[in-house]
Amino acid sequence: MTYQESETVELKSIVVDDIKKEIIAFANSNGGKMYIGVRDDGEVLGLDEPDGTALQISNMVQDTIKPDVTMFLHYKTIEEAGKQIIEISVQRGTDRPYYIAKKGMRPEGVYVRQGYSSVPASDAAIRRMIKETDGDHFETMRCLDQELTFNATEKEFQFHNVEFGPQQMRTLKLMDPDGLYSNLALLLSDQNPYTIKIAVFQGNNQMVFKDRREFRGSLLKQMNEVYDYIDFRNQIHATIEKLSRVDVRDYPIIAIREALLNLLVHRDYSFSASSLISIYDDRIELVSIGGLLTGIELEDIMAGISICRNQNLANLFYRLHLIEAYGTGLTKIMEAYDSSLKKPILSTTKNSFKITLPNINAKDETNFASKISDNITVSFISELGRDEEQVLDYIKKHGSITRPKAEQLLGTSPSTASRLIRKMVQSGLLLQHGKARNVYYTLVK
- 154: Cβ contacts below 8 Å, ≥ 6 apart: 164
User: What string of DSSP letters covers 81-150?
Assistant: TTEEEEEEEEPPPSSPPPEETTT-SSTTT-EEEETTEEEEPPHHHHHHHHHHHH-S-GGGSBPS------
Q: Quick one: pLDDT at residue 219?
A: 97
Q: Are 372 and 388 in the same domain?
A: no
User: Does the CA dihedral 110-114-119-121 come out positive or negative?
Assistant: negative
Contact between 265 and 323 (Cβ < 8 Å): yes
Q: Quick one: pLDDT at residue 373?
A: 37
Half-sphere exposure (Cβ direction) of 327: Cα atoms closer than 13 Å: 9
Cα torsion 210, 207, 403, 444 to 10°: value is: 50
Q: Average pLDDT over the chain, rounded to whole? A: 87
SS3 of residue 21 by DSSP: helix
Q: Quick one: pLDDT at residue 444?
A: 72
We report the CATH number of the domain holding residue 75 as: 3.30.950.30
| Domain count for the chain | 3
Q: Are 416 and 367 in the same domain?
A: no
Q: Are 346 and 401 in the same domain?
A: no
Residue ranges making up the domain that contains 230: 136-376
Q: Quick one: pLDDT at residue 242?
A: 61
pLDDT tens-place string over residues 227-260? 999 999 999 887 666 666 777 889 999 999 999 9
Is the pLDDT confidence value at 222 over 70?
Answer: yes
**Of 79, 100, 122, which one is at a domain's C-terminal end?**
122
Q: Please give the distance of CA 130 from its chain centroid, rounded to a whole number.
A: 15
Q: Quick one: pLDDT at residue 243?
A: 64
Could you give the C-alpha distances from 86 to 31, 120, 162, 302, in angstroms and in order? Answer: 17, 26, 51, 66
Q: Are 248 and 340 in the same domain?
A: yes
Comparing 82-86, 306-310, 326-330, 413-417, the range with the smallest average pLDDT is 326-330
**Of 79, 96, 122, which one is at a domain's C-terminal end?**
122
**Of 87, 122, 157, which one is at a domain's C-terminal end?**
122
Q: Is the pTM of this model over 0.75?
A: no
Is the pLDDT confidence value at 345 over 80?
Answer: yes
pLDDT tens-place string over residues 13-28? 999 999 999 999 999 9
Q: Are 48 and 160 in the same domain?
A: no
Q: Are 283 and 346 in the same domain?
A: yes
In a domain, 2, yes or no: no
User: What string of DSSP letters covers 396-419?
Assistant: HHHS-B-HHHHHHHHT--HHHHHH
Contact between 37 and 54 (Cβ < 8 Å): no
Q: Quick one: pLDDT at residue 2?
A: 86
Q: What percent of the chain has pLDDT over 70?
A: 91
Pairing of strands 65-66, 32-36: unpaired
Of the candidates 134, 255, 149, the residue with the CA atom closest to the CA atom of residue 192? 149
